[in-house]
Amino acid sequence: MAVITDKLIVEKNSGIGRITFNNPDKLNAMSFEMWRDIPVVLDDFSTDPEIRVVIVSGNGKKAFCAGADISEFKENRSSEDDIAEYQKAVLRASEALASVEIPTIAKIGGYCVGGGVGIALCCDLRISNDQSRFGVPAAKLGLGYKLEGLQRLVDVVGPAMAKEIFYTARQFNADEALAMGLVNRVLPATVLDSFVEDYGQRISENAPLTIRAAKIVIAESLKSRETRDEELAERVVDECFESADYLEGQKAFMEKRKPRFLGK
């Protein structure tokens, strides 16, 4: 795995792949190299049959991710070519995280702002602590957001809340984020790590083909009828019923034991 930057901590253990943003002095703001290397890490996780869940988090207690590292703008976003290259890296990373077939959890502790919200929205589940703060300050910076990024926000919180987030450019607390559906759960800061770890383990023990099928079918269900890949949705469901894991699930149920799924 050709990961170069030391601003991503990458770990694998107990069926879980972990990506930790390691830029705590800047509230885990994203450098160009961090964006660039996320698809490399996810590709490695995807080809490892032992990895059943991906947990994305920020190093330290202050932030999940505070968006782009503005200190790099002069170097990496000073010309049209530089801006295009940077945007490509962001798009590749976002698409890789949104489309990876392994279930993903954003573990959000502290600030989740701008691009940090975008990253969290690319994950399947978002679990935060009660000290977290959320916001997209684009309207304070004169930035525009492309359709892909805004679509994910609208899909999660709906158009009215998406407009409030963008129009006001203010920060929302964890309870507000929960009420609008931006996060799945809010937990005390003292139990966030253990809860997400247990949740990850719970998911990793379930049938990976079933989870993959659910992720794909849910994604297709959000598309218009004209653009849905109904053949794909049908195929991934059929693969579940044709799998050895389906037989193992029935056998384990009859034998009153925990199933041992292999993803086959």
The model carries a pTM of: 0.92
Six-digit token string for 57: 């988090």
Confidence at residue 143, expressed as pLDDT on a 0 to 100 scale = 81
- Kind and range of the H or E element at 57? strand 53-58
| Alpha-carbon gap, residue 46 to 96, rounded angstroms | 10
Confidence at residue 73, expressed as pLDDT on a 0 to 100 scale = 60
Residue extents of the structural domains in the chain: 8-203, 206-255
Confidence at residue 34, expressed as pLDDT on a 0 to 100 scale = 94
Confidence at residue 2, expressed as pLDDT on a 0 to 100 scale = 57
Residues of the chain with pLDDT under 70: 1-3, 71-79
Confidence at residue 167, expressed as pLDDT on a 0 to 100 scale = 96
Question: Which fold would CATH assign to domain 8-203?
Answer: 2-enoyl-CoA Hydratase; Chain A, domain 1 (3.90.226)
Confidence at residue 91, expressed as pLDDT on a 0 to 100 scale = 92
Other beta carbons within 10 Å of 40 = 18
Specify the DSSP class assigned to residue 31: P
Confidence at residue 70, expressed as pLDDT on a 0 to 100 scale = 74
